[in-house]
Copies of this chain bind each other. A is one copy, B any other.
Amino acid sequence: MKKPIAIQGIKGSFHHEVVQHYFNGEAEVVECMTFDSVIDTLLEEQTDEIVMALENSIAGSIIPNYALIDNHNLSIVGECYLDIQHSLMALSNQSIEDILEVHSHPMALLQCKVFFREYPHIKLVEAKDTADVAKQISEQNLKGIAAIASKNAAQLYGLNVLAESIQTIKHNETRFVIVRRENNHTDNAYINKASLKFELDHKRGSLAALLNVLSDCKLNLTKIQSLPKIDTPWKYAFFVDVTFVDYKDYEKAKSIIGLMAENFKILGEYKNARL
């Protein structure tokens, strides 16, 4: 039996693409309508692993998804990068001139706005999910309507791709993470990346001092983001990703950070997907 992996969205979505790629076809997606319900499948032990977008090169970090992992004390056990490419698709007997309306997620419509300037006869209509529109067009044989979704969705729902890579910014790389209830890795040999969270007082040089330690321990920083703690003025939380060659260097850094920072927490230890 294939293992169930919960995602936000349906088959044909970008999350689905990540599941197929990361698990080499050995997984079955559990379709959820919201990120909250994705997390629920994990908490209620309907799934042991989920896939969730965590940041992208256009919008930056998806802080609410960070908060879901952090608040529920879940653990990142892997990551996967996907270059989001939007295609325009419709029933196979339709050309772009036949299309009167394009339905898609507001974010997808926004990213493809420039493309549609050449087709002023097409009305842009907001929908809940990109892949779901493709599914509806196929199942209900909807003429005159096109979807913006992945090529994967076109194939899955038997639609014809009218145009490829129609988004304005040609590269929108999104980072997805694989999340479990706990990180029960027993072998440290393959671990060369970690996601950390810690808090520092608003004291001049406090972050610089901590980054010096990471550097001295031969850790490389691949991401840093500060978030002010609303209920504790002058305290900042930092989300940091580090890569390393030797797990022992990382262990040393961990013990020092534990002394220097408050509320130090490891959000995940995993294999760097970008080598």
Contacts and interface: CB of A to CB of B under 8 A. Distances in A.
Interface of A: 57-61, 63-64, 126, 171-173, 202, 204-205, 207-208, 211-212, 214-215, 218-228, 230-231, 238
A3 to B, nearest CB: 30
Integer count of this chain's copies in the complex: 2
Interface of chain A: mostly helix, strand, loop or mixed? mixed
Nearest to A218: B204
B218 A207 contact: no
Query: Chain B CB within 10 Å — which of A220, A230, A238 has the most?
Result: A230
B208 A212 contact: yes
A208 B59 CA distance: 25
15 contacts: A57-B230, A58-B64, A59-B63, A60-B60, A60-B63, A61-B61, A171-B231, A204-B215, A204-B219, A207-B221, A208-B208, A208-B215, A222-B228, A223-B226, A224-B224
Given A57-B227, A204-B215, A224-B224, 16 more contacts: A58-B64, A59-B64, A60-B225, A61-B225, A126-B126, A171-B230, A202-B220, A204-B220, A207-B221, A207-B224, A208-B211, A208-B215, A222-B226, A223-B226, A225-B225, A225-B226
Contacts of A58: 63-64
Q: Which 7 A-B pairs have the closest CB atoms?
A: A205-B215, A208-B211, A60-B63, A171-B230, A57-B230, A208-B215, A208-B212
Contacts of A61: 60-61, 225
Nearest to A226: B224
Nearest to A233: B274
A32 B215 CA distance: 46
Contacts of A208: 208, 211-212, 214-215
Contacts of A230: 57, 171-173
Contacts of A231: 171
A5 to B, nearest CB: 24
A214 to B, nearest CB: 7
B171 A227 contact: no
A224 B61 CA distance: 13
A59 B55 CA distance: 12
A223 B237 CA distance: 10
